[in-house]
Amino acid sequence: MSEHGSAALSRTGESGEAQTGTERTGVQGQRAGKQSWHAEAAYVGGMVETDVLIETDGDQITAVTPATAAPADAIRLTGLTLPGLANAHSHAFHRALRGRTQVGEGTFWTWREQMYEAVAGLNPETYLELATGVFAEMALAGITSVGEFHYAHHDVDGARYSDPNAMGHALVAAARAAGIRITLLDTCYLTGGIDSSLNPTQRRFSDGDATTWASRVEELRAAYVGSPDVIVGTAIHSVRAVPKEQLGTVASTAAKFDAPLHVHLSEQRKENDDCLARYRLTPAQLLDTCGALGPGTTAVHATHLSQADVELLGDSETCVCMCPTTERDLADGIGAARTLFEAGAPISLGSDSQAVVDLFEEARAMELDERLRTERRGHWPSTDLLDAATTAGHASLGWGTCGQLHAGALADFVTVGLDSIRLTGTTLDVAAESVVYAATAADVRHVVVGGRVVVSDGVHMLVDEAPRRLGAAIRAVYRASPRPVGVPWRH
Ligand SMILES: [Zn+2]
């Protein structure tokens, strides 16, 4: 039973003791056949509709009909049902840093040193457990697809594992265990900075050159061709980590695979300064020169841009992934999200460093940060913020058939309870605003991915005792780290 004290998923017309979605639907661990779901309210086509009948067959939605009474066999979804949320930028292992990096003072660069101490405890076994717990946390927060920006490829000394993709496979296995879709953004990471060699921690990130990276990614892709729940995408860590002469190889590999290409862009002013000094181009201009911008590309952060950079991203329809809770946690600065959107860049959202895992918080932060910067309110309609968390996020991860409730879409949806102490008293005409501005991940009641119930009444149906398991996995990472950790700041 959740804090709401409400029943788990149950069919209409049934009363008496609450039973779990699993008992009612029998869908745990397998795809449902034909099923009807009846949403008290649902976000459909940019509007909140009431009494919405969602019909599914296997992993697909076959019909969405507002203003319809519930058939007797429909499963009730009480609250506001949204399309599944897309977390477009994640580094799963950063979850191990939560709290530990909030001690003392510093900058992005001192935080990075602490982050490297957690990296040292990752191996395919510890990472599988950690990521399973992290992806379970995401599922409980209503996230049905994650874009995992993955660069801890090799062993701690840089040597390849016997299977060079062992870490990538561990992340896919973790997403499957947690019941969410994954776009594994296999990241090219070759240098420690512009014209700087890798430091010892960074050695495990590198394949040596972009051509060798591409051949490893090709093997990884081959393992998941035709998978309904896995896309193997590509990433450039940043212009700090991939030299100009190798950027084109990554971009052409993404094009060859028709795969999403993600890149950290201008998160820090130092990156801009170093790039301008070396290439006489901003990072955005450098990526453009190398063919790395376009509708299949997502630039993550895009915090410190010139007006010309904004136009470059907008004109090329490059998606921009904002990660406001991480950007404020790392003292990065406030990106010009609305300006980018109006210039033509779709906007998605990501939990990035896992300072928190809550896409409602990311969505409202994008608006609230702009209020602080401009001293004006109302830059983003709530529907645009919901679209960033659903439609645009899924598009940036290559899941074009997710993120909306309509016939033909994949059956991924999330029900937010409106009766918690945070949301009670709202009315359906402002349900979208209430959820965007006051809901937290804890208000997510039910999560369905591909027609399968993954979360029922706030309980993960596939990962038993998810909090205990995640806590144990974090401790195991630090036990496996040869570097002194715990409260890293004090060392
Ligand atoms: Zn990142």
DSSP code at position 197 = P
Token duo for residue 219: 């093997």
SS3 content of the chain, % helix, strand, coil (to 5): 40, 20, 40
Name residue 154's amino acid: H
Predicted TM-score of the model (pTM)? 0.93
CA distance 80 to 171: 31
Residue 298 CA, ligand 1 centroid: distance in Å: 12
- Pick the range with the lowest mean pLDDT from 21-25, 114-118, 280-284, 478-482: 21-25
Active-site residue list: 301, 352
- Asked if 135 and 193 count as a contact pair (C-beta separation under 8 A), the reply is no
Token duo for residue 486: 């715990």
H-helix or E-strand spanning residue 145: strand 143-150
User: What pairing do the DSSP bridges indicate for beta strands 347-349 and 47-57?
Assistant: unpaired
DSSP code at position 168 = H
114 vs 365, residue with greater confidence: 365
Q: Phi first, then psi: give them for residue 155, nearest 5 degrees.
A: -70, 170
The CA-to-CA distance between both ends of the chain, in Å, stands at: 42
- Asked if 251 and 288 count as a contact pair (C-beta separation under 8 A), the reply is no
CA nearest 221: which of 229, 230, 212? 230
Q: What is the pLDDT of residues 203-229, one digit of tens each?
A: 999 999 999 999 999 999 999 999 999
Band of residue 114 on the pLDDT scale cut at 50, 70, 90: confident
CA distance 179 to 143: 10
CA nearest 460: which of 143, 85, 10, 145? 143
CA distance 318 to 325: 22
392 vs 14, residue with greater confidence: 392
Residue 90 CA, ligand 1 centroid: distance in Å: 6
In sequence order, which ranges of 147-209 are alpha helices (DSSP H)?
A: 166-178
CA distance 396 to 86: 9
pLDDT score, position 106? 83
Band of residue 491 on the pLDDT scale cut at 50, 70, 90: very low
CA distance 478 to 322: 29
Residue 255 has pLDDT above 70, yes or no: yes
- Asked if 260 and 233 count as a contact pair (C-beta separation under 8 A), the reply is yes
Residue 149 CA, ligand 1 centroid: distance in Å: 7
pLDDT score, position 477? 93
Q: What is the pLDDT of residues 427-455, one digit of tens each?
A: 999 999 999 999 999 999 999 999 999 99
Residue 45 CA, ligand 1 centroid: distance in Å: 31
Q: How many residues does the chain have?
A: 491
Residue 461 CA, ligand 1 centroid: distance in Å: 29
Token duo for residue 352: 């990035």
Residue 141 CA, ligand 1 centroid: distance in Å: 19
- Asked if 275 and 304 count as a contact pair (C-beta separation under 8 A), the reply is no
Residue 310 CA, ligand 1 centroid: distance in Å: 20
CA distance 242 to 37: 48
Paired with 150 in beta bridges are: 186
Q: What is the pLDDT of residues 163-213, one digit of tens each?
A: 999 999 999 999 999 999 999 999 999 999 999 999 998 999 999 999 999
Token duo for residue 249: 């190889």
Token duo for residue 19: 């039973």
| Percentage of the chain exceeding pLDDT 90 | 86
Torsion angle, CA of 406/401/180/32, rounded to 10 degrees? 50
Residue 114 CA, ligand 1 centroid: distance in Å: 15
| CA 454 to chain centroid | 17
Q: Phi first, then psi: give them for residue 40, nearest 5 degrees.
A: -55, -45
Average pLDDT, the chain: 92
- The CA-CA-CA angle for residues 124, 129, 135, to 5°, reads 115
pLDDT score, position 448? 98
Residue 352 CA, ligand 1 centroid: distance in Å: 5
Alpha-carbon distance values, 446 to 119, 139, 399, 449, 455 (Å): 33, 9, 21, 10, 5
Non-local CB neighbours of 285 within 8 Å, separated by 6+ positions: 308, 309, 312
- Mean pLDDT for 310-314 is 98
Q: Phi first, then psi: give them for residue 370, nearest 5 degrees.
A: -65, -35
Q: Residues with beta carbon < 5 A to ion ligand 1?
A: 352
Name residue 436's amino acid: V
CA distance 99 to 297: 32
